[in-house]
Structure 1
Amino acid sequence: MIPVGQSVLTLNDISDVLFKNKAITLPEAALEKINTNFEFLQQFSSNKLIYGINTGFGPMAQYKVSEENLLQLQYNLIRSHSSGSGVLLSPLLVKALMVARLNSLMQGFSGIHHDIVELLRDLVNKNVTPCIYEHGGVGASGDLVQLAHLGLVLIGEGEVIYEDCLRPTADVFKNLGIKPLSIHIREGLATINGTSAMTGIGLVNIIQAQKLLGWSAMLSAMTNEVVEAYDDHYSQQLNIVKHHIGQNKVAAMLREILEGSKMIRSRSKHLYHADGIKHDVFEDKVQEYYSLRCVTQVLGPIYDTIINAENVLVNELNSVNDNPVVDHVNQNIFHGGNFHGDYVSLEMDKLKIAITKLSMLAERQLNYLLNDKLNQKFPPFINLGVLGLNFGMQGMQFTATSTVAENQTLSFPMYVHSIPNNNDNQDIVSMGCNAALMTKKVIDNTFAVLGIQLMTIAQAIDYLNCQQKLSPHTLELYKQVREMFPKFIEDQPKYKEMEAIRLFMETNHPAISIKA
C-alpha cells in the first residue's frame, strides 16, 4: 500500500502504483488535516468575498454569485469546461493524473470535503479511469479542461474506461457501489484548478525516459563492442577530468555493461607499442566516429536533464497547485497563481529535446552499422542474404530515419508558445499539458528507433558469429532478443517483430541502473 498525504510521494511510489498496480491508502492524520481545513473554510467564507466560492471564475470574477446558486456554480464549472477534443489519454496516463490530483488535495490547503479524496482513492484502486481528452488545457489556471473531465466523472457523469471498455460513468458506479461526489463548497474549482494532468503525464515521461537512457547506454555499448572499438573513451581516467555528473555516470554504465567483453580493444595493447608506429597509413581508425566515441559526452547531459526533471516534477507532485490557497494554519485565504504550469512545461521541453538528441545518437549509430563504407566490417544493411537480391535492414532504416525527423520537428518548445485567452485574463500561459504530451510522443518514437537499432545489432552479432566473445550483459540481451526476433536471411515483413521489440523495451529496464 502506498500512503498518500502523509509523506512525500516519490517517483518510485508513482511507478509502483502505475506499473505494479499497488493500492493507495489515505492516512487518518492526513484526513484529519483535510477536515480541519474544510471546517476553517466554512467558517472563514461566511460574509466574505472569496474567488471561486461566491464569485464567477476568471474574467467573470467581478460578478457575485447569490447564496442559493453557490453549489450550482461548482457543477456549472465542471460541466462547462468538459470540452476536450482529440484522442483519449491512455488509462495509464489518466491514472497518473488522478494520483497527482489526489496528492495535491491531500496536502490539506484546498478547502475540500474528505468525500472527494476518498472517491479518488477508490477510483484509482479499482482502476476506473475517466475519459479525458488530449486537447484543451493551456496550463495557466492549470489543466482546466482535462481536469474538468475528471470532475465530470467524480459527479457521476461522462464516461470511464473500466476493464478495457468505454462505459457510462453512472453504470460503472452503480455496478461497483460507488457514490458520486456531492459538492460541499468548492470541490469543482479544487478539482480543475491545478497542474495534475501535465504532472501525471510528465512523471510517466520521466519513468520512460529513464528506461530509454539505460537502453541507449546498452545499445551504444553493444555497437562499440561489435565494431571492436577501443576502451579508453569510456574509461574512468578520461571522463573524470570533465566534472559533469551525468558524463561520469554514463561512463560507469558503459564499463559495467562491457565488463568481460572479449571484443573491446585496449589502446595500450594495440597502438601503444613499437609496431604501432611502423606504418604511414593505418588500416584501423585511430579514433572511432563521434557517435561511438562521444557517447558519454552525448548521453551525460541527457542523464542530468532526466534527474533534474524528476526533482522538479516530484516537487510539483507534492505541492499545492490550485487557487486560492485555503490556509487554516495562518487563518487566511491567499489568492495567487500556484496553478501556473511553467515549472512542468519547461522541464518537459528540456526532456523532449534531450530524448530527441538520444534518438539522433541511435540513428547515427544505426547508420554506421548499416553503411559498409563507414564500418568496413559488415555487408551493406547487414544483409545476411544475397547482395542485390536481399535487402537486410534497409527497409527498417527508413522508418528509423523518418521517426527521428519527426522528433526533431516536435522538439520546438511549447514553453515559449504562449497565446493569451480567457478575455486576456490568462495573458501568459504555460502550455504545460501540450508540452508533456509532445514529450510523450517523442519518447514513444524513440523506443521504436532504439528497437530497430537493437534488431540491427542482433543481426550484426550473427554475421560475426561472435556470441562467445560478448560481455555477460550483452550476451544475455542478445539471447532475449533472439527469442522474439529470430535471425533472418530471406526478406520477410518485420513490422510485427519491430512492435514486439519496441514493447519489450518500453516495459522493461535494461539490466543496469541509470542511478548506479
Structure 2
Amino acid sequence: MLELESLEQIVLQKANIDLDQQAVAEVAACFDFLTGFSQDKLIYGINTGFGPMAQYRIEDEARIQLQLNLIRSHCSGMGQLLSPLQTRATILARLNTMMRAYSGINTEVVQLMKDLLNAEAYPCIYQHGGVGASGDLVQLAHLALGLIGEGNFQFRGEIVKAPVVYETLQLKPIRIHIREGLAMLNGTSSMTGIGAINVIHARKLLTGQILFSLMVNEIMEAYDDHFSEELNGVKLHKGQQTVAAAMRAISHKSGLMRKRHEHLYDKKVTESVLEDKVQEYYSLRCVPQILGPVYDTIEYSAQIITQELNSVNDNPVIDYKNGNIFHGGNFHGDYVALEMDKLKIAVTKLGMLADRQLNFLLNPALNKKLPAFINAGVLGLNFGVQGMQYPAVSNVAENQTLSNPTYIHSVPNNNDNQDIVSMGTNAALLCARVIENTFEILSVHALAIIQAISYKQIQERLSPATRWMFDELSALAPAFVEDSPSSERLQRIKQWLMETEVGEKMKKLLGFE
C-alpha cells in the first residue's frame, strides 16, 4: 500500500525506491499467464484495434507494431510540460499500479520505471491532451514513448533526447512483448500523481493558514473563546473541532490572547462605548468554522487519492489468479476529477480567508492598531505593504475563476466511443494552479504579519509555535521601513511554505511526537 506520506518522501524528497521481489514475481506470473492465455483467442488490444476500431482483427505478425503505433499516435500532447515533480509522481503512480500484477506486462517495464525514478530522468509529458476517460491516454503515451527509448526527457535540468539519457545511465529501453503499450496508456496515473501532490501541498497550506490566523489574533490581542473546546464541541463537525484544537495547542503559552472573563465578566464594564471590539471580525473569529470544511475536504481527497494510487486502473484487467481477463472501465477518472474540483474550491476559500485577514491588517479603519498598510516609514512618502496586496488580490480573483467545476465538462470524442469523460487531468492541473496561487497569497499574508509583529514589537509575547514561525519567516523577509522591490522576498517565503514540513515541526514544538 503506497501511502501519501511515502509518496511525499519519494516524489518531493527524492528518496530512492526498490521493488518488492515477491510483487515482481507476481508481475512475471501475470505476464506468463497472458502469454499462454492469449494464444488462439481474440482479445481486445492484443489482436484487435483500439476503441471504436476494436472490430478490426490484427494479424499475429503485426501485434508488436500495433502497440508501437498506439504509443506513437497518442503522443499528441501540447502546452507546457508537466513539472519534474508532477512527472515523477506520474511515473510512481503508474509503477505502483503495474506492481499490482493485473496488467500483463513484462517485468522490464517496472524495473525500468524504478531505474528512471532513481536516476531522476523523466520522459517529457505535456499538460494538454488528456480527457481522463480511457485514462490519461496522451500523458501516459508520452511516458511510454520515453520507456521505448524515443522522445525527450527532463534530465539534470535540461531537455535531452532519449538515446542520450539511456547511454548516460547505461540503461536499455523496454521491448514490446504483448500489450505493454495499452497497459501503459490505459490508466489514471497522471491525474492521480498530480492529485497526490495537490493533497500534500493543500495540507501545507492549511497548516500555514491556521498558524497565520492565530498570529493575526495575537497581533490584535483577541479573545480566545472562539476556538475554545466548549464552543466548538457543540458543533458536530470533525474539521471544525480539529482546527479549533490545533489553535488551542498552538496558542499555548501565548502572552497575547485574552480571556474574556478577565476583561468583561470578572469586572464591571462602565464605558458607554467600548474601545475594544466585544467580538472580532469573522475572518478572525470564525477560523474553525471556515477552515474546518477545508480540513475535511483535504482529508477526504487524501483518502480517495490513496485508494486510486493503489487501484488497478487499466483495461482490460488480466486476472491471472482467477485465470480470466475482464473488460470494463477502471481507467475512468471520475473519482479523481470530482475530488480535484472539491479540493480547489476548498483551497480557494482558504486563500480568501488569508486575503481578508491581510486586508484587515492593512486597513487602520478596521484594525484600529496599525498604521495604514503597516507602514513603518513616513506616511504618504513610504508605502509599506501597499504594493504587495495587489498580487494577493489578483490570485484570489484568478482562483475564484478557476474554481468552476471541471468534472461536469464532459465532451464526447473518439467517434463517440468515449461518450462521457471525466476531464480528470484537467481538473488536477487546474487544482495545482489554484494551490500555487494560494501559496502566493499566503506569502503576502506572511510578510504583512511579520511587519505587524515587528511594528508592535510583540515577538517576545508570541506563543512558542508562532514565535518559531515568525523567526523562520522574518529571517527570509525581515520587517522593513524603506521601500524596496519585494518580489524576491515573496518568492523566498513561497518556496519555504511549499517545502518546509511545518506540520512536523508543530508536532515537535507541541510535544505530539
**TM-score where L is the length of structure 2:** 0.98
- Native 8 Å contact 2:439 2:498 kept in 1: yes
Determine whether 1:198 maps to 2:191: yes
TM-fit CA distance, 1:513: 5.3
Cα pair 1:215 1:509 within 8 Å, conserved? no
Distance between the aligned counterparts of 1:23 and 1:145, measured in 2? 27
Q: Is the 8 A contact 1:214 1:512 kept in 2?
A: no
Choose from 360, 372, 387 the match for 2:352.
360
Which among 378, 398, 401 is matched to residue 393 of structure 2? 401
The answer to whether the 8 A contact 1:97-1:196 is kept is yes
The one-letter amino acid of 2:327's match is: H
What SS does structure 2 have at the residue aligned with 1:166? strand
Tell me the amino acid that sits aligned with residue 394 of structure 1.
Q
- Selected match of 2:315 from 307, 316, 323: 323
SS in 1 for 2:265: coil
Partner Cα distance (1:475, 1:38) in 2: 57
Partner of 1:307: 299
Deviations 1:282-311 (A, max 9, x none): 111111000000000000111011111111
**How many angstroms does 1:34 deviate by?**
1.1
Q: Show the counterpart of 2:216.
A: 223
- 1:343-388 CA-partner distances (Å, limit 9, x unpaired): 0000101000000000000000000000100111111111111111
Q: Identity over aligned residues, as a percent? A: 55
Matches within 5 A, 1:101-250: 101-250=94-243
Aligned partners of 2:29, 2:111: CA distance in 1, in Å?
16
Question: Which residue does 1:100 correspond to in 2?
Answer: 93
1:415 aligned to 407, 410, 418, which one? 407
Q: Does the 8 Å CA contact 1:139/1:341 hold for their aligned counterparts?
A: yes
Q: Residues 456-467 of structure 1 correspond to what in structure 2 (within 5 A)?
A: 456-467=448-459
The residue aligned with 2:259 is 266
Measure, in 1, the Cα distance between the counterparts of 2:343 and 2:446.
23
Deviation at 1:20, TM superposition (A): 2.4
Q: How many residues align?
A: 508
Q: Which residue of structure 2 aligns with residue 512 of structure 1?
A: 506
Deviations 1:297-350 (A, max 9, x none): 000111011111111001000010000001111111110000000000001010
In structure 2, give the amino acid aligned to 1:98.
I
Counterpart residue type for residue 468 of structure 1: E
- 1:217-248 deviation digits (Å, cap 9, x = unpaired): 00000001001110000111111111111111
Contact 1:214-1:513 within 8 A present in 2 as well: no
For residues 470 and 28 of structure 1, the distance between their equivalents in structure 2, rounded to whole angstroms, comes to 52
8 Å CA contact 1:253–1:512 kept in 2: the answer is no
Does 2:274 correspond to 1:282? yes
Distance in 1, Cα, partners of 2:163 & 2:441: 42
Q: Which amino acid aligns with 1:185?
A: I
Residue 62 of structure 2 corresponds to: 69
Instruction: Provide the rounded CA distance (Å) in 2 between the counterparts of 1:93 and 1:135.
Output: 14
Q: 1:294 aligns with which of 280, 283, 286?
A: 286
Shift of 1:407: 0.4
Cα distance in 1 between the residues matched to 2:310 and 2:132 = 18
| Aligned 8 A contact 1:52 1:189 in 2 | yes
Q: What is the Cα deviation at residue 58 of structure 1? A: 0.8
Instruction: Give the distance between the partners of 2:50 and 2:427, measured in 1 at CA.
Output: 25
Q: Distance in 1 between matches of 2:463 and 2:155?
A: 45
1:431 equivalenced with 2:423 (yes/no): yes
Give the RMSD, CA atoms, in angstroms.
Answer: 1.2
Name stretches of at least 5 consecutive residues in structure 2 with no aligned partner. Answer: none
TM superposition shift of 1:206: 0.6
Give how far 1:470 is off: 1.1
**What displacement does 1:512 show?**
2.4
**Residue 365 (structure 2) aligns with:** 373
Amino acid at match of 1:399: P
TM-score normalised per structure 1 = 0.97
The 2-side partners of 1:94 and 1:71 are apart by 26
8 A contact 2:450–2:478 mirrored in 1 = no
- Indicate the larger mover: 246-255 or 141-150: 246-255
Cα separation, 1, equivalents of 2:507 and 2:252:
15
Deviations 1:93-135, CA, capped at 9 Å, x for gaps = 1010000000101101111111111111111111111110000
Partner Cα separation in structure 2 for residue 111 and residue 513 of structure 1: 44
Q: Which moved more, 1:30-39 or 1:416-425?
A: 30-39
CA contact under 8 A between 1:410 and 1:438: conserved in structure 2? yes
CA contact (8 A) 2:232 2:241 kept: yes
Indicate the residue corresponding to 1:382 in structure 2.
Answer: 374
Contact 1:131 / 1:149 at 8 angstroms: preserved in 2?
yes
Question: Quick check: 1:341–1:432 contact (8 Å CA) kept in 2?
Answer: yes
Q: Tell me the residue number matched to 1:4.
A: none
Residue 43 (structure 1) shift = 1.3
Contact 1:214 1:509 in 2 (8 A): no
Give 1:57's aligned residue: 50
Q: Secondary structure at the match of 1:25?
A: coil
Partners of 2:245 and 2:223 in 1: how far apart? 16
